[in-house]
Structure 1
Amino acid sequence: MLNKLQQGWLRARLLNYLLAPISWCYAVLARLRYGCYRAGIFKSRVLPRPVIVVGGISVGGSGKSPLVIALVNHLKEKGFKPGVIARGYGGKSAFWPRAVNQATCAQLVGDEPQLIFEQCDVPVVVGPDRVRNGYYLLDGMNGNGNCDIVISDDGYQHFALKRTVDIAVVDGQYGFGNGWCLPAGPLREPIAALKRADIVVINGQSTEELLRHIPACCPIYHMSMELQEAYNLADNRRRKLSEFSNRPVHAVAGIGNPLRFFSQLEQAGLDIIPQAFPDHHRFTEHDLSFADNREVLMTEKDAIKCRGMSVAKNIWVVPAKLRVDEELYLRVEALIGKGHW
């Protein structure tokens, strides 16, 4: 049932039409909730440091975490001391908030926070309450609370936390799907909610139809993911993607938009046997054991959950390098510099 529903998120089917009245109610409640925060009925907390939210209005992966990683590394180069807060979706920690470190793992704190920590080497705190996460990041990490800027991975709808910069990421390939809110569509809020964004970033190429839906008041920038040389999950051996083109390989993805990863591998000249799993899927040995013993290619976000498996020697991780409009960084720095936080 859920799979059929999600298939209709791109082009509505009968089930989606039947659920449309619920989606209309969802949209009204989303607007009402935001209105209560804006009117001061619900209170937003202000952290003593600037807060950058990298989020969006669609469920699933649109490229938020890669942008967080790129933004963190850019700010470090500029002399800032950024820290990251995140929900830690799928994490099984017994307590929150929790600091991510070398002793944690994706199963404990979530795949994306662990990946951000390992690739950025900055303080990362996870938990369902982003306000608590922020205070713990700034004050409670045993002397590590020297961050001068907080970046929230996701949280566009987490109005309890006041933000300095709101960045909304849009999947250029998927767009806004059928344009409906949950459950009949993929949207957490109506498209008009993008008016709150200080910056809109489109992941991939944008179409005229997509641009028509984005409010004219939003500054728009672009980013793209370019696949890099693969490395073996067990022993870190490296191979160019072209070295996998001599025979079919398995491509496994448990990310928000598996089709992007699959199409990029095909564009690199690979003959793939694709297998898509739900976003944040907890992989098992069975998921990755194939009778033909062909190599398995996957993203870094997925691979971080597969370390230590006996099949790791057959898994090749394909990193992706993010390319972003340089003007995006300048815009973020200008908004931070205004000091209205």
Structure 2
Amino acid sequence: MHAWNGHGADRSNALGQVLVFFLLPISWLFAGLVAIRRRLYQHGFYKQTTLPVPVIVVGNVMVGGVGKTPITMALVNHLKAQGLRVGVLSRGYGRKTSSTLAVSPKSQSQNVGDEPLLIARSCQVPVFVGNSRVDAGRALLSLHRDVQVLVCDDGLQHWPLARDLELCVFDERGVGNGHLLPAGPLRETWPRQALSPNVPCWVLRTSGEAGPNEFAVQRHLADYALQADGTQRSLSSWWDTPVQALAGIAKPEVFFAMLREQGMNVAHTQALPDHADLQALHIDTSQGDVLCTEKDAVKLWAHHPQAWAVPLHTTLPPELLAAIDAHLAAVQHAKLSSPHGHQTA
């Protein structure tokens, strides 16, 4: 809805503004409930569980996709390069199961979720999904006792899990019209009111202008594509050949535009809903080879192994990585004598 994003002057947006006006009382009620819940945590009526290793949460306050998972993967790869043993936690949005599960590269996306499976395959680290990220973290650490840091992919509002650092991701929408659901796109008020003043929340921008004290994330498609069996092919080999592009992500048109920027002749596009079930999808290869995102490939390859996945490379700014490294070092030093998982107010 354009009115959610706070821009546009057409008739549909004018109608949207009227709808926003009538929804505002519900948003105010929602804001009040969020504030009460926050106070209950701050005053110890609800407990947070602190795990024995540092926890970094990558999340957002806006509904819809903002590019969290590629940032999670880039962060995990950086921490691995620093010599740290990393584990990843996730809710596993869209999965058909509800229990706490370990994710392996051979897992099925319908059981563990698209993003956790992509992370497990791409990053080669322990990944656990669970409605309770606390339970998922405990299960992961019980099986992988050498893990030194946990990264939670989406979980900014999952307050039962104590965290040591928050990375809040925004796209070009910013905070939209500034209202909470349902009158706006926000899950909580912005600027955020942290549960603890000792937990920094750093802002990352995947698109649009980065403001003061914000970090700009660079993203670009790889110059190659992969098939299920590991076959690699340069994108330039398709420049003279029509291809079709498929994307079941929050903003499929962005993927299509990035392919065209790479010189691809995208003759046909198929935009699908985020987390769409691709099992029954019909693909007509007579219209050209099929290019998709890595996230789509974790589902598509089970039925269409001939599809080509184009990786998205995400680059985190050096100053952000340096700040994360310094903060982690301080947190790890403070946790050396901590008991194995306890509750704090």
Is the TM value for this pair above 0.5? yes
Alpha-carbon spacing, 1:271–1:103, altered in 2? closer, same or farther (3 Å) = closer
Query: Which of 108, 111, 136 is matched with 1:108 structurally?
Result: 111
Q: Distance in 1 between matches of 2:26 and 2:78?
A: 42
Larger deviation, residues 144-153 vs 241-250: 241-250
Deviations 1:25-51 (A, max 9, x none): 222222222222122221111111111
Q: Distance in 2 between matches of 1:27 and 1:245?
A: 51
Q: Identify the residue that residue 168 of structure 2 maps to in structure 1.
A: 168
* 1:227 and 2:230 aligned: no
The alpha carbon displacement at 1:52 in A equals: 0.7
**Aligned-residue RMSD, C-alpha:** 2.3
Q: Identify the residue that residue 280 of structure 1 maps to in structure 2.
A: 275
Q: Identify the residue that residue 3 of structure 1 maps to in structure 2.
A: none
Q: Identify the residue that residue 70 of structure 1 maps to in structure 2.
A: 74
Q: Distance in 1 between matches of 2:3 and 2:130?
A: 31
* 1:182 and 2:181 aligned: yes
Query: Retained in 2: the 8 A contact 1:51–1:151?
Result: yes
The alpha carbon displacement at 1:194 in A equals: 7.1
- Percentage identity across aligned positions? 38
Q: Distance in 1 between matches of 2:26 and 2:86?
A: 40
Query: Which of 269, 289, 300 is matched with 1:295 structurally?
Result: 289
Q: Identify the residue that residue 9 of structure 1 maps to in structure 2.
A: 4
Q: Identify the residue that residue 337 of structure 1 maps to in structure 2.
A: 329
* 1:320 and 2:315 aligned: no
Give the TM-score, by structure 1 length: 0.85
Alpha-carbon spacing, 1:42–1:52, altered in 2? closer, same or farther (3 Å) = same
Alpha-carbon spacing, 1:35–1:266, altered in 2? closer, same or farther (3 Å) = farther
Deviations 1:173-226 (A, max 9, x none): 23223332222322211222176753111113416xxx3xxxx6xx32111211
Q: Identify the residue that residue 202 of structure 1 maps to in structure 2.
A: 205
What SS class does the counterpart of residue 193 from structure 1 fall into?
Answer: coil
Larger deviation, residues 7-16 vs 162-171: 7-16
Unaligned runs of 5+ in 1: 1-5
Query: Retained in 2: the 8 A contact 1:45–1:131?
Result: yes
What SS class does the counterpart of residue 331 from structure 1 fall into?
Answer: helix
Larger deviation, residues 20-29 vs 40-49: 20-29
Q: How many residues align?
A: 319
The alpha carbon displacement at 1:300 in A equals: 0.1
Give the TM-score, by structure 2 length: 0.84
Larger deviation, residues 72-81 vs 242-251: 242-251
Alpha-carbon spacing, 1:246–1:199, altered in 2? closer, same or farther (3 Å) = same
Match for 2:92: what amino acid?
A: G
Match for 2:322: what amino acid?
A: L
Q: Identify the residue that residue 92 of structure 1 maps to in structure 2.
A: 96
Q: Distance in 2 between matches of 1:299 and 1:291?
A: 17
Q: Distance in 2 between matches of 1:197 and 1:285?
A: 44
Q: Distance in 1 between matches of 2:81 and 2:226?
A: 29
Alpha-carbon spacing, 1:67–1:52, altered in 2? closer, same or farther (3 Å) = same
Q: Identify the residue that residue 126 of structure 1 maps to in structure 2.
A: 129
Match for 1:190: what amino acid?
A: T
Q: Distance in 2 between matches of 1:74 and 1:194?
A: 28
Match for 2:311: what amino acid?
A: P
Unaligned runs of 5+ in 2: 8-12, 336-345
Query: Retained in 1: the 8 A contact 2:223–2:236?
Result: no
Deviations 1:95-136 (A, max 9, x none): 521111244121210011111111111111101001111111
Q: Distance in 2 between matches of 1:274 and 1:194?
A: 42
* 1:136 and 2:139 aligned: yes
Query: Retained in 2: the 8 A contact 1:253–1:298?
Result: yes
Deviations 1:127-185 (A, max 9, x none): 1001111111112x2xx2321111111111111111111111111x2322333222232
Query: Retained in 1: the 8 A contact 2:170–2:204?
Result: yes
Q: Distance in 2 between matches of 1:291 and 1:119?
A: 27
